């Protein structure tokens, strides 16, 4: 599931969600499933509509606020301040850094126990990942593409392919998996 797409299946059909907004299973906006722009747009809309109840003048102000927020929703360059809760992109970047760094430090010849730990970790990770739409797709990926943990390179490439599957879903370029170790362990050769 592309978390940057609206999720009508999870929303109240009577409410319009901005593009990129995903609701949590509690029906409230899910910050870690949504882009910063859509989350900001949604919360501004909510604040604007509660401030307007019963007043024509404030109704006009709310419309203006909502329009401004709507424009903000298409701002691809929105940057989350460092000390704010993570949105889907900040969370994703940090998580890929952790996962690829685990691959980079995984033994070339792991013991049976290390292989078992990694398999367990990835299974638990796929169930606890804080963006639930991302987590469901990742669990499905794990079902289809059995995890490979036999060596550092085996896991590094498996993870690179898993990351590429998400890249493809989001319309991003594929990464050259022959270079995963340069990116995450040794640094670029050239």
Q: Applying CB under 6 A, which residues contact ligand FAD?
A: 1-4, 88-89, 92-93, 95-96, 100, 129, 133-134, 137-138, 160, 163-164, 166-167, 170, 172, 175, 180, 183
Residue 129 beta carbon to ligand FAD: minimum distance, rounded to whole angstroms = 6
Show the CA angle centred on residue 34, arms to residues 168 and 135, nearest 5°: 60
Q: How far apart are CA 175 and CA 99, in angstroms?
A: 15
Residue 20 beta carbon to ligand FAD: minimum distance, rounded to whole angstroms = 8
Nearer to ligand FAD, 10 or 137 (CB): 137
Residue 96 beta carbon to ligand FAD: minimum distance, rounded to whole angstroms = 5
Nearer to ligand FAD, 14 or 189 (CB): 189
Q: How far apart are CA 160 and CA 117, in angstroms?
A: 19
CB atoms under 10 Å from CB of 184, counted, come to 20
Tell me the two tokens of residue 64. 């203006």
């Amino acid at each position: 599931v592309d978390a940057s797409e609206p999720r009508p299946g999870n929303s109240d059909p009577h409410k319009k969600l901005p593009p990129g907004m995903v609701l949590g299973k509690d029906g409230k906006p899910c910050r870690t499933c949504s882009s910063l722009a859509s989350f900001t747009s949604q919360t501004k809309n909510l604040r604007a509509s509660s401030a307007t109840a019963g007043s024509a003048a404030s109704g006009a102000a709310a419309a203006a606020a909502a329009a401004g927020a709507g424009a903000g929703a298409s701002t691809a360059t929105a940057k989350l301040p460092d000390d704010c809760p993570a949105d889907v992109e900040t969370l994703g970047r940090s998580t890929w850094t952790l996962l690829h760094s685990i691959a980079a430090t995984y033994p070339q010849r792991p013991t049976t126990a290390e292989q078992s730990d990694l398999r367990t970790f990835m299974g638990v990770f796929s169930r606890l990942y804080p963006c639930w739409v991302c987590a469901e797709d990742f669990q499905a990926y794990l079902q289809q593409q059995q995890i490979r943990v036999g060596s550092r390179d085996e896991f590094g490439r498996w993870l690179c392919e898993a990351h590429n599957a998400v890249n493809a879903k989001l319309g991003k370029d594929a990464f050259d998996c022959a270079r995963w170790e340069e990116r995450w362990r040794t640094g670029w050769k050239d």
